[in-house]
Amino acid sequence: MLNERFLKQIDFITEIDKLKNIFRQNVIIEGRRSENDAEHSWHMAVMAILLSEYAPEKIDVLKVIKILLIHDLVEIDAGDTFCYDEKGYLDKAEREQKCADRLFNILPKDQAEEFLNLWREFEEVETPEAKFSACLDRLQPSILNYNTEGHTWQKPGVNKEKVLKRNMIAEEAVPTFWEYITEVIIKDSVAKGYLKE
């Protein structure tokens, strides 16, 4: 017998199909169309499998993957906020909290709590898993920008200083990522004109 619990889970699974329509600022490499949050989340989850060895302390890879798979779900109502849009950031937390309250509560109570906690953990950036996830959330779009002649970095107001600041969390949290982002991606992008000095 199909119970209420299963049907709630299916309702949630159906609802989150909407993440495939939430478009980000960066584009995918071939075809240069905007990437959506579902694709971004998938890409980072695979990166977590491959790159967890670079976390300086032991991390729970399953937890990192869960965080990455669900961290952008709140954008279903709140939309994507461009990371260099200072005005957009003013009410980002409020918009996202409102979506979290609606969306996660479609789930049975225990799973609503689990997802809410995973999302909060990501937002608070305090645990090793949240810090590692945050670093992947910088590295993944950096790789796409690097391979699309700095697509997002060509937008008004973006320069090397801002990109460095955005990625700075990796300096301590995942030094290998920081070295790659600064010494390869940013250095080469400035040299090639993908990113303003």
Footprint of a copy of itself (CB under 8 A): 1-2, 6, 9-10, 12-14, 16-21, 28-31, 35-36, 38-39, 41-43, 45-47, 49-51, 54, 61-62, 65-66, 69-70, 107, 111, 143-144, 147, 176, 179-180, 183-184
Judged by beta carbon, residue 93 or residue 184, the one nearer a copy of itself is: 184
| Nearest distance in Å: CB 1, a copy of itself | 8
DSSP secondary structure letter of residue 69: H
State the minimum distance, in angstroms, from the CB of residue 37 to a copy of itself. 9
Q: How far is the CB of 20 from a copy of itself (least distance, A)?
A: 5
Q: β-strands 23-27, 34-36: how paired?
A: antiparallel
- In terms of phi and psi (left: phi > 0; alpha: psi -120 to 50; beta: otherwise), the region of 36 is beta
- What H or E segment, with its residue span, contains residue 174? none
According to DSSP, the residues that pair with 11 across neighbouring strands are none
Query: Is the Cβ of residue 91 or residue 113 nearer to a copy of itself in the bound state?
Result: 113
Which of residues 85 and 143 has its CB atom nearest to a copy of itself in the complex?
A: 143
Q: Which long-range contacts (CB under 8 A, 24 or more apart) does 44-47 make?
A: 44/68, 44/133, 44/136, 44/137, 44/140, 45/69, 47/136, 47/139, 47/140
| CB nearer to a copy of itself: pick between 122 and 180 | 180
Dist CA 139 CA 24 (whole Å) = 15
Whole-number minimum distance, CB 8 to a copy of itself, in Å?
10
Give 66 or 138: the residue with its C-beta nearer to a copy of itself: 66
Specify the residue for token string 């920081």.
Answer: 178
Nearer to a copy of itself, 31 or 156 (CB): 31
Cβ at position 166, least distance to a copy of itself in Å: 19
Q: Closest separation between CB of residue 49 and a copy of itself, Å?
A: 6
Which DSSP helix (H) or strand (E) runs through 35? strand 34-36
